[in-house]
Amino acid sequence: MTIIHFVDMEKSAEEDNVEVLIKEPFLHFVSLKETTGAFMSETILQELETMSLSVENLRGQGYDNGSNMKGKDNGVHRKMMEINPRAFFVPCSTHSLNLSVNDAARCCLEASSFFDLVQHVCVFFSSSTCHWEILTHHVNYLTVKPLSQTRWESRIDALKPLRYELGNIYDALTEISDTTFTGSSGNTACSDAEALANGLSKFKFVTSLILWYKILFEINLTSKQLQEKNLNIHAAIQKLKQTKNILEEFRSDEGFERTLVYSLELAEGTDFPTEFE
């Protein structure tokens, strides 16, 4: 995908004032036969030449955080700067935020176990029309959604049904576990439903659900703001600082106590245990 970002200085017809406009038009998609830094760099140079745009006028580059794009030795940005040292590279701030959350969650066993259970719930209901029908009988407005492996902030969509329909989803699993199905697959479905229901009812899961919903809600807001057309660097830095402060607050004893208050409310409302095992 080819997008160029440039400054357009337009002179008013009635006045002598010059209006400075920042524009970022989408040009077209470019087919790639290879995804190496060298090949993509050559493709970019060819595209600029085709559009009669001099690489000497290039002042900035912005890509995602893939090694073939940002690699300090063989990435696209490095090869372009070898041609034009003034073409400074700025990584995608939204992608950087996404990778930070991704790495932070993967290094925590409790977080990995929590999201594995969320994913198993989605797979269980979506893999069978019978299971899905029972789910929709209990849940009217929200349906379980799969986890995104690349856009962590979008996992808020997967947690929202559990956050606000946890009791109903639990009831759906309980109904399936109590239903008599034919064949070995039916027994497996009952066993899986019972195991998932037991997992959802644990206070540790409820607390993790409250905590991660609050975290991803904030991350999602920040991610969307970082993608706004009119956002400037100063506003982006301030928003990231605000998000950092909120995450640090979650890590404090006071922040965790507030999380427990919401966890107790949710657990009591669904008749789940209200103590950690």
Residue-wise burial string across 219-236, b where 16 or more C-beta atoms lie within 10 A, e elsewhere: bbbbbebbeeeeeeeeeb
Q: What single DSSP character describes residue 140? A: S
pLDDT given for residue 259 in this prediction: 93
Strand (E) or helix (H) holding 60: strand 60-61
pLDDT given for residue 147 in this prediction: 76
Torsion angle, alpha carbons of 48, 52, 57, 63, to 10: -20
Distance CA 39, CA 189 (A): 49
Task: Read off the pTM.
Answer: 0.77
pLDDT given for residue 77 in this prediction: 87
pLDDT given for residue 182 in this prediction: 65
Contact in structure between 212 and 247 (CB atoms under 8 Å) = no
Q: List per-residue pLDDT tens for the chain, 277 residues long.
A: 778 888 888 776 666 777 888 888 888 888 888 888 888 888 888 888 888 888 888 888 888 777 788 888 888 888 888 888 988 888 888 888 888 888 888 888 999 999 999 999 999 998 888 899 999 999 877 777 777 766 766 688 889 999 999 999 999 999 999 887 666 667 888 999 999 999 999 999 999 999 999 999 988 888 888 888 777 778 888 888 999 999 899 889 999 999 999 999 999 999 999 999 8
Locate the domains of the chain by residue range: 2-91, 95-269
